[in-house]
Chain A
Amino acid sequence: MSESMSVHPEVVTTHDVHHDEHGGGHHKETFISKYIFSMDHKTIGKQFLITGIIWAIVGGLFSVLFRLQLGYPDQSFPILETFFGHWAKGGQIQPEFYYALVTMHGTVLVFFVLTAGLSGTFANILIPLQIGARDMASPMLNMLSYWFFFLASVIMMSSLFIQTGPAAGGWTIYPPLSALGQASQGSKLGMDLWLVSMAMFIVSSLLGGLNYISTILNMRTKGMSMTRMPLTIWAMFFTAVLGVLSFPVLLSGAILLLFDRNLGTSFFLSDIVVNGEVLPNEGGSAILFQHLFWFLGHPEVYIILLPAMGMVSEIMSVNSRKPIFGYMAMLGSLFAIAILAFLVWAHHMFVTGLNPFLGSIFVLLTLLIAVPSAIKVFNWLTTLWRGNIRFTPAMLFAIGFVSLFISGGLTGIFLGNSTIDIHLHDTMFVVAHFHIVMGVASFFGMFAGVYHWFPKMFGRYLNSTLGYIHFWVTMVGAYLIFWPMHYEGLAGMPRRYLDKSGWVSFNQFGDLDKMITVVSIIVFAVQLMFVFNFFYSIFKGRKVTTQNPWGANTLEWTTPIRPGHGNWVGEIPEVHRWPYDYGKDGRDFIPQTEPIGANESKH
């Protein structure tokens, strides 16, 4: 077992006692106000997490289905026809079904899992707890943020069940394909539902983001200056800023696209003849949409990645029993990444006919991001150096995150360079790159966070043996799936090809595709095991008996084991130091709440 036990003998008041004690005048909680329309940031965070888990299962299952097609394009799976009817006629995934699957896989995982499920969960749970606030600046808006997300989820989910199927134009929904029902089944009702759902999602994201920002800026406890905040909070802060500034641009794109689809406008449409039918639209620009999309789309990558980086920094420091190396450099690099995130969007558009001079500017700015990323990696490495490392499941996932971030970050240097991008653009290389650096790495950050803060969320531990199995299978599996995939891309194999047997140039990877499919099924099964561990441990996991099981400095571990609404019984603790005094002056750790001693050395 990885958890350090019975180190701290103090026993803490259980949560049922203190409701009457804090703040005073709290109305009596019913089941509905406590678990459903709750305004407690911790409950809202759990709601985001559990909704995210459900979506992750759906999105992951989709990938297993289309991997079946990719690995075994000639084989038929009668069971698929049983479940999906004419979408999998004769047990074979039909092209329209395939494209619906990849589109929804991307949409669901990028937005619903790694945006809402990741920063929705941890920003909600950690911000008030780590800065020392009783709740968010506006608990009401916070609750609405979840329910708008829920509404978006319901709409998106319903689009899976309509006759013409969900959106199928890729998660980037480029018009004209996404604008013309004649061009694709998935561009009929499914696309409208996609756009409406995303509009709801953006509302949710904005309500959440504004709340996170104002909470961090205004509600820090006494002594918690900005530079005494844990890096998790800094990461959540920049994430929220990115979201607030970029999501509205996607909203505008989505609304204009809705107009083009339903009201006969021509924002993105021009000179189109589809299936022999001449459309009247003239003067629009299909490329304009791509600018609007990627102005969100690129910061979105960092919206997904930054919270993972923040949590990894925190978890790595705690479990190395050593301060995070270069706190100010970590903070500066987060800031630099947040700024640059807005200035690189057109690197997704090098081969759209973009002016080459403009392209060269975006090459420069894109490769610049590698500098703060390198700083972060070196700082993590130095944090491990001469530490005294405990391999909790959370720590293993944090180490795995760094490994994946290095691997995926380095391939970004290929793609950010427009010269190489000409060859690699829209090939499997891109798929391998962003799945490693943004998909799997962020998932690792999320898993690290779940394993680390599960005791705080539910007062119980996750089973760590299952955690170790989960980590090792996922880590090995992720590399087995995505590392060789780069080679397919180097051969020029385009992404979103469901059967390569008709091609002379791309048909040489049949065995590789089979291997990838088998591994991805195994990895998916292990994720289900994690989900089982998660729900089982909520009710039956080993109970947490000490207030601070990891020996961490941050404020959330000064709350009761199962904190109620309001988090602290009595006064909110005052903060006297930064959160990374581990191993200082021969002491294992010094919590933030401890005043600076007279003889304490300076750092």
Chain B
Amino acid sequence: MQTVFIVAILALGFLVTFQIAKASEYVAILRGEERSRKQTNKINGFLLLVFLIAGLIGVYYCNEQLKGKILGAPASDHGVLVDRMLYITLALTFIVFVITQVALFWFSYKYQESDTRKAFYYPHNNKLEVIWTVIPAITLTVLVGFGIFYWFKITGEAPKDAMQVEVVGSQFKWEYRYPGADKVFGKKYFKEISDAKNNPLGQLWDDPANHDDIYVSGEPMHLVVNKPVKLIIGAKDVIHDVGLAHFRMKMDAVPGTPTTMWFTPTKTTADMKKETKNPDFVYEISCDQMCGKGHWSMRGEIVVETQEEFDAWLAKKDPQYAKVAPAKKMEPAKDSATAPGILKDSVIAQVIK
């Protein structure tokens, strides 16, 4: 009923508008078309000026309303660079924005048709063209220069002491792997992926580097504050994207083509809870690449903590290998780190049934 009512009102409003529009056409003819055209011209010229002023106020108002809702200070070293670049660009473009929009609407208003003025025949001026080719070119060179400088810093090689975490996306969840004490990820092959065989990432158990690798899912990824981290990113089914809004980082997860990104978190989750005055604050991983019907809910969490907290958390984890080879549930980390060769044959015998 309500819907019918709304539709009826819309139709009525439409009809009224149309009748007025039609009537104004007749009125124009009665009053003299040229005269009423000039009057309409004045109204529209005035409205353009109103639009300019209201628009600039609107831009200011919008900023006042929303600036508190965009993310606060960045929580990583790279994020600082991204934000700096953003603000440099914002400052420059905002100046250009105001100048050009004011010129556009002011000229439109000022030079609206008038009987007393004749249009100025002004087909070209090469000096002007050169000026407004060169100035934008120089400005853009500055932007490109800063941009590429920061870009290479962000995408350059990760520091040698960076911790590594593997992130794997699939519809519609995130899984993680830590390399364990040997700091080396074991090899994987996608055809080994099997939940039934307790091998969600497709680790190859005959690679001893796998024996201490710790698989984490269904809980947040843990990172250490002020310690560079290199994420090794992959996907099982379709393209996903590891989006870390607070760290200002983002990288696609592509099946078949591993990608990486690194950064240094500079604030623990606890710090951020204080800073944002939000006790529920968590770092979130958002999937930023359309990946199917659950894309909008493909969410992961990250906990940034001190080294001690991290060590305590990791110490409670068993390597995935322990689940597939219960008999070998000893200290695989030490073994594989010190004597990788020795374990190999026995392990293969265990794994391949």
Report the separation of the CA atoms of residues A396 and B111 in the bound assembly, to the nearest whole angstrom. Answer: 14
Write the nearest CB–CB distance from B120 to chain A, whole angstroms.
Answer: 4
Asked if residues A388 and B293 are in contact (CB atoms below 8 Å), the reply is no
Residues of chain B from 244 to 286 with CB closer than 8 A to chain A in the complex: 245-246, 248-252, 254-260, 278, 280-282, 284, 286
Contacting pair A386 B122 (CB below 8 A) = yes
Give the shortest distance, in Å, between B272 (CB) and chain A (any CB): 11
Which residue in chain A gives the minimum CB-CB distance to B128?
A: A382
**In the complex where A364-B144, A491-B71 touch, is A583 in contact with B193 (Cβ < 8 A)?**
no
**Which residues in window 279-314 of B have CB below 8 A to A?**
280-282, 284, 286-297, 299
Check B237–A494 contact: CB distance below 8 A: no
Given contacts A364-B148, A487-B69, A583-B121, contact A503 B284 (CB under 8 A): yes
Q: Which residue of the partner chain A has the closest CB to B10?
A: A525
Residue of A nearest to B120 (CB): A386
CB distance from B176 to the nearest CB of A (A): 17
Chain A: number of interface residues, binned into ranges: 35 or more
B69 contacts across to A, CB distance below 8 A: 487, 491, 508-509
B343 within 8 A of partner (CB): no
* Cβ A287 vs Cβ B140 within 8 A: no
The interface residues of chain A lying within 8 Å CB-to-CB of B281 are 504
The answer, yes or no, to whether A11 is at the interface (CB within 8 Å) is no
Within 8 A of B (CB), among A463-491: 463-466, 468-469, 472, 475-476, 479, 483-484, 487, 490-491
Contact B252 A417 (CB under 8 A): no
- The complex places the Cα of A287 from the Cα of B119 at a distance, in Å, of 54
Q: Give chain A nearest CB distance to B105 CB in angstroms.
A: 7
A492 touches B286 (CB 8 A): yes
Q: Which residues of A contact B194 (CB under 8 A)?
A: 276
Shortest distance between the CB of B330 and any CB in chain A (Å)? 31
| B113 on the A face (CB < 8 A) | yes
The answer to whether A410 touches B96 (Cβ under 8 A) is: yes
Residues in chain B near residue A525, CB distance under 8 A: 10, 14
| Residue numbers in B under 8 Å from A1 (CB-CB) | 24-25, 28-29, 33, 36-37, 40
Which residues A381-415 have CB closer than 8 A to chain B? 381-382, 384-391, 396, 399, 402-403, 406-407, 410-411, 413-414
Q: Which of B25, B34, B128, B195 contacts A465 (CB 8 A)?
A: B25
Partner of B151, one of A79, A419, A529: A419
Q: Given A353-B257, A363-B144, check contact A177 B290 (CB 8 Å).
A: yes
Q: How far, in whole Å, are A542 and B239 apart by their CA atoms in the complex?
A: 55
Beta-carbon contact of B51 and A389 below 8 Å: no
> How many angstroms between the C-alpha atoms of A500 and B90 in the bound complex?
27
Judged by a CB distance under 8 angstroms, whether A497 is at the interface is: yes
Query: Do B256 and A386 touch (CB < 8 A)?
Result: no
Contact (A5, B33) CB under 8 Å given A287-B254, A385-B111: yes
* Residues A479 and B28 in contact, CB atoms below 8 Å apart: no
Given the known A-B contacts A360-B152, A504-B280, are A512 and B66 also in contact in the complex, defined by CB atoms under 8 Å?
yes
Kindly provide the distance from the CB of A201 to the nearest chain B CB, expressed in whole angstroms: 22
The residue in chain A whose Cβ has the minimal distance to the Cβ of B243 is A494
The reply to whether A363 and B290 form a contact with Cβ atoms under 8 Å apart is no
Is A255 an interface residue, CB under 8 A from the partner?
no
CB closest residue in chain B, given A479:
B55
Interface residue? A72 (CB, 8 A): no
Once the chains bind, are A413 and B143 in contact (CB under 8 Å)?
A: yes
Cross-chain contact B257 with A285 (CB below 8 angstroms): yes
Q: Which residues on B sit within 8 Å (CB–CB) of A170?
A: 290
Pick the 3 closest A-B CB pairs, nearest first.
A492-B245, A270-B256, A353-B259
What are 9 A-B pairs with beta-carbon distances under 8 A?
A183-B171, A273-B237, A286-B257, A322-B121, A359-B151, A374-B133, A386-B122, A419-B154, A504-B280
Chain A residues within CB distance 8 Å of chain B: 1-6, 79, 95-96, 99, 168-170, 174, 176-177, 180, 183-185, 269-276, 278, 282, 284-287, 320-329, 351-353, 356, 359-360, 363-364, 367-368, 370-371, 374-375, 377-382, 384-391, 396, 399, 402-403, 406-407, 410-411, 413-414, 417-420, 422-423, 425-427, 463-466, 468-469, 472, 475-476, 479, 483-484, 487, 490-500, 502-506, 508-509, 512, 525, 529, 532-533, 542, 580, 582-586, 603
Q: Residues of B with Cβ closer than 8 Å to A?
A: 3, 10, 14, 17-18, 20-22, 24-25, 28-29, 33-34, 36-37, 40-41, 44-45, 47-48, 51, 55, 58-59, 62, 66-67, 69-71, 78-79, 81-82, 85-86, 89-90, 93, 96-97, 100-101, 103-105, 107-108, 111-114, 117-125, 128-129, 132-133, 136-137, 140, 143-144, 146-148, 150-152, 154-156, 170-171, 190-191, 193-195, 202, 236-239, 241, 243, 245-246, 248-252, 254-260, 278, 280-282, 284, 286-297, 299
